[in-house]
Structure 1
Amino acid sequence: MTRFLTLALFLLFSLTALAERPPTFTAAKVVAKQKVFFDRAQSPDGELYCGCKWEWTGKSGGRINPESCGYETRKQQTRADRMEWEHIVPAWVFGHQRQCWQSGGREKCVADDPVFRAMEADLFNLYPSVGEVNGDRSHYQYGMVNGNAPQYGACTTKVDFRGRAVEPRDAVKGLVARATFYMYDRYGLSMSRKQQQLLMAWDRQHPVSAWEKSWESRTAAVMGHGNPFVTGERSWTLGHKPSREGIVTQLVTHKGAPLAPQPLAVSGDIVGNRNSHVYHLPQGCPGYIQVSTKNRVHFSSEAEAQAAGYRKAGNCR
């Protein structure tokens, strides 16, 4: 029995040791190719936005095959030819909910914020895509886009540049919703009520596919944890309270031995608008990400905001 238990613990430790999360976005793209999408370049599912097949090039890049999906270039031929790695929840969106972004943008976050680096390199948020559509999507939120005029040939993803919204093709709407739920839940992000309602509808209308299950399983093997919104362990409802499981840092002892993950103190989570003197919480306040950078004031607590003469936004739930 003792020998069996020892062997079992050894195997468990060995399997856990294989789960090495990529530390940077650059590393994540390489790992995503090698461990997750290695055999998907010629699959019928194709890349995210248009279902195009591609050929791998270099360590993590690719060249799109437009004939495989009926893709027609809208404007940017160089990016239309290129497979790029899309953040399903854009770095601009999750970055703007971090204090580092207000201090110096993405470069500042990469340099100084371990939580931002974890979000940027999270494989559950990365998917191959046509570079031109990736660029056109920018940091737009998801939405229903009116109009039937094709923008990219047979590709049915639509981008509303004026309304700053993107509607992905039906085949990936559920996948996009569940990846978004994962990011907002794990990293304690704030999502508007309108966005929640849309993604909840997509989640219901487009159930988990066989490939999405495989994608989740492969990614979990690297990340060391799964996406509970794909496995069914968790579901999103209006007013969902994020688990914030990703807001941790790995501490080490003076001998270099890892300690259990501890909560990472996040400063400046509360955002005030210096013009209106209204403050917004990172959860439950739709206006949290809508305050312009130049008008943002950061507080570590509601008491601090109130002491400075700010009042809580009336639309916070």
Structure 2
Amino acid sequence: MKIRRILATTLPMLLFTILTVTSLYASPANFTQAKTLMKQVYEDNPVTFYCECSITWQGNKGAGTIDLEGCGYKIRRNETRASRVEWEHVLPAHSFGHQRLCWQDGGRSNCVRTDPVFRAMEADMHNLTPAIGEVNGDRSNYRFGVLPTTDYQHGSCDFKVDFQQRVAQPRPEIRGDIARIYFYMHDRYNLRMSDSQEKLLIAWHKQDPVDEWELERDRRIAGHIGHSNPFVTGERTWHRGYRPTGDGLTENATSNQPPIDLTGPVRGNQRSKIFHRPDCPGYDTISEHNRVEFASPKAAEDAGYRIAGNCP
């Protein structure tokens, strides 16, 4: 009887503890949720990753505007994207997506619908940073490198891109951050890395050690998803011949997250005649004055709208 009384008292408390811990560390189910949480990570450090421009946050879904004049940024071509925050995948979605079978069968949209591992990679907060939209677009899915003879094209922003070589050069102060994000993504999801990129990133990791903000950013993200980037905390070190653990594959391969419905309601801009799905960067940035709701992408297309170019 005494044992029964103990079990009756302790089991409910144990179950409550398990449920509480589980709810505290719930990784975002998709890219849209990840962007909302990332805004919380950067709430009191509102600065873009590549150009160090100040951000003014709007709402609670990761949207924001950028003080281009204050940081000396010069718009290269796309004024609309230059004025807004976009959440950059440091390791591009194309780079990790094309290593998944789903990409071969229908590209990114198919991966979002059908592959829980891809959705986990796309929503992995350790791989996301706030960027000027135009810089995010110019970087595209280019590899990182050094461009000593390439001119700057974005004013005072210490960022270069060679569109012909498909190479982007970030400022020295974040090169180690980039390297450790690459190490994390390749390790966690067992991704292939080219020999030349590995050599460069190992060098960048040594040249630009972990700083206080990188550690704080890691702590905040770990507080949301339950694990750190071990290459930031020092628990792991990437080296030539490193063999990835693939930790994220086993955790997400059996995920029961439902596929994202890409055929449901969309949001259009009556001024530009462009529409955005909920998973598109511009979905939450359309002003209420110009916003038009449609029941589906087809309904928007029938009304003369076209899908935004930055939608996956």
Q: TM-score, normalised by structure 1?
A: 0.73
Question: Could you tell me which amino acid in structure 1 is paired with residue 53 of structure 2?
Answer: C
Map of 1:298 onto structure 2: none
Q: Within the alignment, does 1:24 sit opposite 2:62 as a pair?
A: no
Map of 2:55 onto structure 1: 54
Question: Could you tell me which amino acid in structure 2 is paired with residue 222 of structure 1?
Answer: H
Deviations 1:74-96 (A, max 9, x none): 11111111111000000011000
Q: TM-score, normalised by structure 2?
A: 0.74
Equivalent-residue separation in structure 1 for 2:126 and 2:239 (angstroms):
20
Equivalent-residue separation in structure 2 for 1:127 and 1:11 (angstroms):
32
> What secondary structure is seen at the aligned counterpart in 1 of 2:248?
coil
Map of 2:166 onto structure 1: 164
Q: After TM superposition, give the deviation of residue 125 of structure 1 in Å.
A: 0.4
Question: Could you tell me which amino acid in structure 1 is paired with residue 37 of structure 2?
Answer: V
Equivalent-residue separation in structure 2 for 1:21 and 1:175 (angstroms):
22
> What secondary structure is seen at the aligned counterpart in 1 of 2:153?
coil
Alpha-carbon RMSD across the aligned residues, in angstroms, is 2.3
5+ residue gaps, structure 2, are: 1-5, 257-312
Counterpart pick for 2:187 among 179, 185, 188 = 185
Question: Could you tell me which amino acid in structure 1 is paired with residue 39 of structure 2?
Answer: K
Question: Could you tell me which amino acid in structure 2 is paired with residue 47 of structure 1?
Answer: T
The within-5 A match list for 1:62-73 is: 62-73=64-75
Equivalent-residue separation in structure 2 for 1:11 and 1:109 (angstroms):
35
Q: After TM superposition, give the deviation of residue 224 of structure 1 in Å.
A: 1.1
Q: Within the alignment, does 1:38 sit opposite 2:40 as a pair?
A: no
Q: After TM superposition, give the deviation of residue 17 of structure 1 in Å.
A: 2.8
Map of 2:84 onto structure 1: 82
Q: Is the 8 A contact 2:151 2:160 kept in 1?
A: no
> What secondary structure is seen at the aligned counterpart in 2 of 1:247?
helix
Equivalent-residue separation in structure 1 for 2:16 and 2:146 (angstroms):
50
Q: Is the 8 A contact 1:16 1:224 kept in 2?
A: no
Deviations 1:123-147 (A, max 9, x none): 0000000110100000001111122
5+ residue gaps, structure 1, are: 257-317
Rate the CA distance shift 1:198–1:8 in 2: closer, same or farther, 3 A.
farther
Deviations 1:127-170 (A, max 9, x none): 00011010000000111112253211111111111110111111
Query: Which region of structure 1 is more displaced relative to structure 2, 69-78 or 87-96?
Result: 69-78
Equivalent-residue separation in structure 2 for 1:251 and 1:114 (angstroms):
8
Aligned residues: 247
Rate the CA distance shift 1:39–1:8 in 2: closer, same or farther, 3 A.
farther
Q: Within the alignment, does 1:14 sit opposite 2:14 as a pair?
A: no
Rate the CA distance shift 1:251–1:176 in 2: closer, same or farther, 3 A.
closer
The within-5 A match list for 1:74-113 is: 74-113=76-115
Deviations 1:9-42 (A, max 9, x none): 97676344311110000111011113x112221x
Equivalent-residue separation in structure 1 for 2:66 and 2:188 (angstroms):
32
Q: Within the alignment, does 1:245 sit opposite 2:247 as a pair?
A: yes
Equivalent-residue separation in structure 1 for 2:16 and 2:236 (angstroms):
30
The within-5 A match list for 1:133-172 is: 133-147=135-149, 149-172=151-174
Equivalent-residue separation in structure 2 for 1:161 and 1:217 (angstroms):
35
